[in-house]
Structure 1
C-alpha cells in the first residue's frame, strides 16, 4: 500500500528534532510528530519534556569514551547549526570540574583525563591554590583540584537548540506535525501512528520520546528504563551577584561518590526576564511508572526537601548567594541499566527506539539524533558509532 511517509519520528525533543534534521539530508518523505511546549505548565495535562529550559552544560570531559565521543561530535556541529538556522544556542564559556584527589586509576577524574587525551581535548589542571584564586566564587575543600576545559565547552540553550533543529528539518522538507502520538502499530507491511486524532502511515518509525517512550503504547514492548525525578534549584541573581558570578564557567563539583556531584549553570536570563543561576544533583530516588504521576510531577515545583538540600550545598559552595531568592522546578531523568542510550530496533523490524539520556545526553543530543537517522536509513549502527553499546534492553 502507499504510505503517507517513508519515515516518522515521534518526539520533538532534543534527540527527535536532531534525528529529523539529519534524516532530511539522507531521505525524503519524513514527518516529525510532537506537541509544542505548554503555555501554562501547571495547568497542562498532556505530555511534557525536560528540554523546557534555558541552560544545559556541554563538555567533552567525561569518564566514559562513548559519552565523550558523542559530546565531541555534537559540539563540532554547534556553530554550523547556529549559522544555518539563524538561532543562537551555544555559549562557549568553558566547563570547570573541581574534586578531591583521585583515589586510583579508575577514579572518574583519571578516566576523564584518559578520554580527553584520546579525543584531543585541551584540559587545564589547576592546583588547589590556583583553583581557589582563579575561581574565587567557589568555596571548595582546600585539597580540591580543578580541571578546566576552556574550549568546546560551556552551556547550550535546549529550547533554542530544538527550535534550530526543527527549523532546519522543516527547511529540508520534513513535515512537522504538532500533535501527541498516542499509539504505534506494526500493520505488517507498514507502521500506523495515531496522533492528534489522525492515523499516519510510514515504512519505519523512530520513537524518540524520552521519559515518555514507555507510555501511550508507542513501543511493542517497553524498554528497560527508570524514569527518575530530579529537582532543580534556581537562584535569582541581581546586578550585585552578577559582578561575582557573571563570568563563571559551567561548573561541576565532585564528591566522594560519582553520584554526589553537583552541577552549576552560570547566570542565564529566562523568559520571565529574570536572571538565574541554576544547580542540581543526581541523588533523588523517586521514580515513575504511570503517565499521570509523571504529569503531576511536571506540574509541581519539584521536591521541597531536595530544594532545601541543594540550597544548603549552594550556600556552602557559593556563600555570595546568601540572600538571593531561591525557587525550584521539576525535571526527569531516563536511566538505562547499561548506562548508555538506546538506539536500535524493537521486536518489530519497522519500529526503532532512541531514548535513555541517563541525565547527561543534552550535550550529545545532535549526535544521538544522527545515530537515530542512520538507524532508520541503514537498519543498524556501525562499531564506529558504538552500536553494540546502544543495543536496547526490553522489560
Structure 2
C-alpha cells in the first residue's frame, strides 16, 4: 500500500510528487498519461493536458497578491530544479505588463508589497525599447526583467517527474477511472484507485491534480466543485528567420487595456473598449521553427460542459476563431514578417475565488485544481502546498482558507473577501 497516490501527472501533479517524495519513508506514486504523439478524433484517448507546449509566461508581477506570492515561491526554485534534474526549462527574458493606468496601478501596488523589482515605462520609452510593437498613444508599461520570462512546460514536467522518480516515487503511465474509499479487513479506511489500464492501487491518501478532467471520471463521487471550464484560443505565428534577430530582446507581454484602432480585432471584440491577451517572444519549437504565441482571453465565450466538449476542443479547437486571433496577432507588430501559422487549444479551469483549490475533501482525499489560467508559473508552489497539506503539514504564510474547495451549489464570496485582509 502507498502512503500517497497523486492522480494527474501534469505541472501541478508532477510538482506535488517531487515535493512529497522528498519526505523520507513516504511511499508515493504518481499516475497520469504521457503526452500523445498526436491529437486526433480517431484516437480512443479522452484525457489530455494543457502543458503540451514550449512556452508559458512566468513572472512575479501580478494584480493579485496571492498569485504573485505563489509565483515568487515557484520561481526561486527553478534553477535548483534545473541543476538537480539536468533539464533546462527556464528562460529569463523578462515580462512586460502594459495597458491602462488602473491596471498598472494594481500591479505596481502588489510589486511594492512583495518586493518585486521592476521599471515603469511611459509611452515614449515603450516605443523606444520595443519599436516592433504597435502601442496606443496612452499605453504605459511596467517591465520585470529579473526572475521573469517563460518556462517550457513540457520540460518542467519532465524535470519534476525525473526528480520524483529519483527520490523513490513510482510513476504509472495510465489514466485513473475511479477513486473510492473502502473499509479494510481490520476496520481501517483506505483509498482504492482503479485505472484504465486495469491497475488497482491501494493508498492511505489520494491527491487529485486532474485539471479540467476532474469531474469526468469517478474521482469525486458525490461532490461537484464550483468551477467553470473555459476554452482558450491560442495562435502560433512562424517568424521569418531573418526577423528572429530583430525580436531577440523581446520579453513576454501581458496586456489589459483599451483596444487600438489599428489592431485587427476579432469580430466579437471589434466594439469593445477593454481587451486582454498574452504574448510570448519567438520560441524554437520541435519542428525547428520559431513561433510567436498569443492567447486572446475571452475570444471564445463557450463553456465546456462534458467530456465530449473538452475532448473535441483539445483535438480540433475552433479554426475560425484561431484565424481571427492570428490576424490580430500579426497586427500587433510592425516591420515583422510571418510565414505559416497554426492553432492550439487548452482549457482554463476557473473558480469563483479566482484562486486554486488546495483543500481536503475528507481526511484521505485532497485536491489541487482550479488553475484559472495562472497556474503554470506557480505550479511548483501549488504542488508543494498540496503535498504539505495532504501530509498534514501545511507550510505557508498564506492561510489555507483562501484555497478552500467550494461546492457547485454555492460559493461564499463574503468569507473569501474577508480573508484578503489577512494577507
TM-score range, shorter chain: over 0.9
What is the CA–CA distance in structure 2 between the aligned matches of 1:339 and 1:253, rounded to whole Å? 18
- Residue 218 of structure 1: aligned partner: 219
Matches within 5 A, 1:54-93: 54-93=54-93
Deviations 1:126-175 (A, max 9, x none): 11101101111111101111211010000000000000000000001100
- Is 1:36 the counterpart of 2:49? The answer is no
What is the CA–CA distance in structure 2 between the aligned matches of 1:313 and 1:30, rounded to whole Å? 46
Q: SS state of the match for residue 278, structure 1? A: strand
Measure how far apart 1:288 and its partner are: 1.2
On the 8 A contact 1:108/1:258 being kept in 2, the answer is no
- Residue 260 of structure 1: aligned partner: 275
Q: SS state of the match for residue 48, structure 1? A: coil
- Is 1:343 the counterpart of 2:358? The answer is yes
Q: SS state of the match for residue 325, structure 1? A: strand
What is the CA–CA distance in structure 2 between the aligned matches of 1:320 and 1:210, rounded to whole Å? 39
- Picking from 321, 325, 331, the partner of 1:310 is 325
- Picking from 362, 377, 381, the partner of 1:363 is 377
- Picking from 6, 9, 12, the partner of 1:9 is 6
- Residue 277 of structure 1: aligned partner: 292
Deviations 1:256-311 (A, max 9, x none): 499721111111111122211100121021211211221111111x2233223322
Measure how far apart 1:252 and its partner are: 1.3
Larger deviation, residues 317-326 vs 200-209: 317-326
What is the CA–CA distance in structure 2 between the aligned matches of 1:167 and 1:90, rounded to whole Å? 16
Measure how far apart 1:201 and its partner are: 0.6
On the 8 A contact 1:207/1:219 being kept in 2, the answer is no
On the 8 A contact 2:206/2:364 being kept in 1, the answer is yes
- Residue 129 of structure 1: aligned partner: 124
Matches within 5 A, 1:178-193: 178-188=173-183, 189-193=189-193
Pairs aligned (count) = 384
Measure how far apart 1:88 and its partner are: 0.2
What is the CA–CA distance in structure 1 between the aligned matches of 2:391 and 2:257, rounded to whole Å? 43
What is the CA–CA distance in structure 1 between the aligned matches of 2:123 and 2:389, rounded to whole Å? 46
Q: SS state of the match for residue 185, structure 1? A: strand
Q: SS state of the match for residue 234, structure 2? A: strand
TM-score, with structure 1 as normaliser: 0.94
- Give the superposed CA RMSD: 1.6
What is the CA–CA distance in structure 2 between the aligned matches of 1:265 and 1:287, rounded to whole Å? 25
- Is 1:292 the counterpart of 2:289? The answer is no
What is the CA–CA distance in structure 1 between the aligned matches of 2:275 and 2:181, rounded to whole Å? 43
- Residue 17 of structure 2: aligned partner: 20
What is the CA–CA distance in structure 1 between the aligned matches of 2:273 and 2:68, rounded to whole Å? 16
Change in Cα spacing, 1:259 to 1:13, as seen in structure 2 (3 Å) is farther
Matches within 5 A, 1:235-250: 235-250=237-252
What is the CA–CA distance in structure 2 between the aligned matches of 1:111 and 1:67, rounded to whole Å? 13
Change in Cα spacing, 1:168 to 1:259, as seen in structure 2 (3 Å) is farther
Change in Cα spacing, 1:316 to 1:340, as seen in structure 2 (3 Å) is same
Change in Cα spacing, 1:246 to 1:207, as seen in structure 2 (3 Å) is same
What is the CA–CA distance in structure 2 between the aligned matches of 1:15 and 1:383, rounded to whole Å? 17
- Picking from 326, 330, 334, the partner of 1:319 is 334
Larger deviation, residues 182-191 vs 40-49: 40-49
Measure how far apart 1:323 and its partner are: 4.6
On the 8 A contact 1:93/1:249 being kept in 2, the answer is yes
Gapped regions of structure 1 (runs ≥ 5): none
- Residue 266 of structure 2: aligned partner: none
Larger deviation, residues 17-26 vs 220-229: 220-229
Measure how far apart 1:382 and its partner are: 6.0
On the 8 A contact 2:385/2:395 being kept in 1, the answer is no
Measure how far apart 1:376 and its partner are: 1.0
Measure how far apart 1:69 and its partner are: 0.1
Larger deviation, residues 23-32 vs 170-179: 23-32
- Following TM superposition, where does structure 1 have runs of at least 4 consecutive aligned residues deviating by more than 6 angstroms? none
What is the CA–CA distance in structure 2 between the aligned matches of 1:150 and 1:81, rounded to whole Å? 21
- Residue 163 of structure 1: aligned partner: 158
On the 8 A contact 1:235/1:321 being kept in 2, the answer is no
On the 8 A contact 1:264/1:277 being kept in 2, the answer is yes
- Is 1:386 the counterpart of 2:399? The answer is yes
On the 8 A contact 1:314/1:321 being kept in 2, the answer is no
- Picking from 387, 391, 396, the partner of 1:373 is 387
- Residue 107 of structure 2: aligned partner: 112
- Is 1:97 the counterpart of 2:97? The answer is yes
